[in-house]
Structure 1
Amino acid sequence: MLTLMLIAGGLSLYNAHKLNEAAENLEGRYSTLYKLFTSPSSDLDSEAGFGKEMVEQAVTIVGEQVKYNYTFLLVIVGAALLFGGMIAVLFPWKITRPVERLVKATQTVKKGDYSYRITGLEGTGEISTLAGSFNDMLSNIEDTHNSNLELLEQTKRFNETLREKIDEATLAIREQQNELIRAERLAIIGEFATRIAHEIKNPLSGITVALEIMRGKAGSEEQEHSITEVLKEVRRLDGILRDLLQLSVPKKMDFREIDPNEVVERSVILVRPRAEKKGVSLNVRHGASGPCRLDYEKCQQVLINLLINAIDSTEPGKGTVSVETETVDGALRITVQDDGSGIPQSEIEKIFEPFYSSKKQGTGLGLPISKKIIESHSGEITVSSEEGKGSQFTVIIPYTRRDEELTAKETGSA
């Protein structure tokens, strides 16, 4: 713009100079003409011819000057129009393009993308300064947003950890409550069993002896059969009493280095007739390696109880019961699995409670006693089951246990 004004000013000065020269030229010529007309010795004819020539020259000069001025005016007008057109095209583009970029930036940020930056507006103008400030603001917002996201993620992790800890603590408290309830029940059972043990056991022994004598003197097979059935019930009552005493009164544990595969094999031999009578297959797999400190008789009692329960839950003629021993993470693991009727989920937490049984003829003492025996080995017994598909009982006993722990259990104080 400034350059164009300087050019126009220069042309105007040049034009004024030309007009001044033409005026001086005309003034000199008209001065000469005036002298000629006023001179007395002048020849009129020659003077008239000279005057005509002077007038023609003056008209020619003025005409050329007018043409020059007209051309100059056209140049100025054309330049002004050209400059105006350039301004009309370039100036809005210079303004709208940065504004469009600013609008695009705000829309992008509105969608949550704080990494967007305005580029291509370098310079010293106000728009460039605004774009730089906008980019700085976006950088600050992005840093704050990232910090908030990191803080939110840390909060989520903390909440998840806290929730897990709360769940673990709640589960532990619930288990402790169940153990307390179980201990209270066992204490009541123990007190009850201790009080009636001598009152019932001695008469039962006498009744058993008397029935044996009567069976030997039976006069008919029908009488002998009836006495035998009564003997079975008396012995069942005696077994219940023994179970009550075993569940409530701690007994000395006889820990020895024993091959767990041997205990399993012996238990399977004892229950095989029951399985064959029902048409149930027994599969055994020995995978445990090395001896483990066990109470042979107590562990055999647990395995027999688990095997009998598995056999009883399967369908006659097509059931399968599997027993497997393994060494896993420094512990002995024994699993007893069947493909029987399974246990309802609502009953799984109750099966280790005293007197709870799903069998019509069951006492509800076998699994609680088994649990107590395994816990005396510093182990645990768990169950997983699905109705219609079967159950799996898992016994885990660590190979290495603290000496004082075993000593306490060997003396029957556990």
Structure 2
Amino acid sequence: MNSDHSVVRHIRSQESETATEVEMLPHGVSKNRLASKYLWLSLLVALIPLIGFASLYDSYFSQLVTRLTEEQLATRVAATQNEFRVFIRERKFEIQALTDQFDSPEYFVPEGRQNISSELESFLRLQVDARSVYGVVFFDEKGEVAWSFPDKREIGLISKNNVYEFEGAELIGPSAYSIERPSGVVLRTSRQLDVNTDQKGSIGLVLRFNSFTEILRGLDQGTTFRVLLQAGDGNTYDVVGQPVNVTENSVQKFSLLPGWSLHVIQDRELVMSPVERMRYWLIILMIFTVAGLFWLHMSISRRLNRQVESLIDSVEQVALGNLETPVAHVQGMEMLRLTQSIERMRLQLKKFIRSTLAIERQATLGQLAAGLAHDIRNPLTTIRTTVAALSRREKNPENKEMMSLVEEEIDRVNDVLENLLNFARPRDPLASRIDAKELLSSVVALVGASARNQNIELRMQCPPSMFLMADEGHVRQVLMNLLLNALEAMSVQGDLIALDGCQKGAEIALSVRDNGQGMPEDILAHIMEPFYTTKSAGTGLGLAICNTLIKSNGGRMSIESTKGEGTTVTVFLPVAEAQE
């Protein structure tokens, strides 16, 4: 803990020096920069609506003048004429499809309705479901109506007085306009039914008259001119199909079909009305622009102040030594970059402090290990010599094996002392290919007697032929330490320790799990730090050494614990490659 205080004192001394340097900076630099940004932003917000409105205003009049020119009007009329003819041609293609299906003279007689099959009736019904079609009419050889589909109502829409030729088809109508009965136009084409007798029949589509007038909507401009349709009956209709009387003098006529024409009427009064409205909206827009500019300035000022205050609070927390709380993120490109820079500074400072503490702790551990090695190695040497002499005289094989295990444990203690001495600069591991199941079995054999003395079940589960690559002594030492810790933790609660091994991807996971008393979160967060211990007689080096050994072998170690349920420590080591 003395190292922690020294690092904090060093940080605060650096902080006071930095604060002195900051006070020497001119105070107006950042302020002037923000004021300049406010000015340019305010001008930009004010100019964009005005420039945009001026552009729209000018564009409106230029488009208005362009629309009133003869060339522009002629272009639109030509497009409407083309669309009108295309509409009729499409209906001709539909009639052609009908004539391909109804190719027998029996369909072109008054009794033809009874001669059609259910498939042909479905085909006719599909045809009349179109939005622009009222029905289908069949004409006999003399041109008289034989029958109609879906019923005889459509016959009333047929007028023989207004018949016009168009590209080999006949356009009949329109019928008289009335509220009870909609107007219709018949498009009819003939077909030779019998080659030997030259017998002919014809099929007509009864089209909705509004389908013709709706084509004019693309040309009609209510603010500049109106468009009317003069049909074959001599009457004039608007875009919704209602008859109107034309009294204006400024009427331009354009031919659509034989007997059909297009009337364009210009309206000067409708042109000038939008000009007055645009001026009115210009004044309102100016007022709202000024109000919006003021509101925007105040809103940005308050928002920027909140962001700066948030950054100041975060920096003060770092200055006070709170390096665990992340810096609060704020919006805005420059403020976000500043926040990210402060956050990187916090993380680097946190990493620097932890590295410094780790170095000091490792140095302290090295001094402690040197003293322990001097005091422990001499008794261990005497014990090992005595056990070796007794082993040579012992004739009971079972006792002799136990003495051999004692010698191995003494050697392991020597290895632990060697690792303590090298904790500050650990030796490179001697990696070898280790059978995970054999390793766990040997560890269970060493700890089994202690577990039985505490009435604790020691259970092992590991599949065969699973190999890991690591220093066998390091891994054995780590597992022994973890098992002994589990036995000690279960002295109050628990009766099972499970030692498991499995493969997870490119790693071998060796876990020690107990159902003891577990650890709270505040202890779990520091449990692998050197010299951190909750035991009255512990040194806090066991898990720190285990973590160092595992990392030196290219692995990692994780600890999961729940208060009152138990603890699981898992060691992950690389899988050994298969050998031939």
TM-score with structure 2 setting the length:
0.36
Q: More helix per residue: 1 or 2?
A: 1
Taking structure 1 as the reference length, what is the TM-score of the superposition?
0.47
* Greater relative contact order structure (CA < 8 Å, 6+ sep): 1
Larger radius of gyration: 1
Give 1 or 2: higher strand fraction: 2
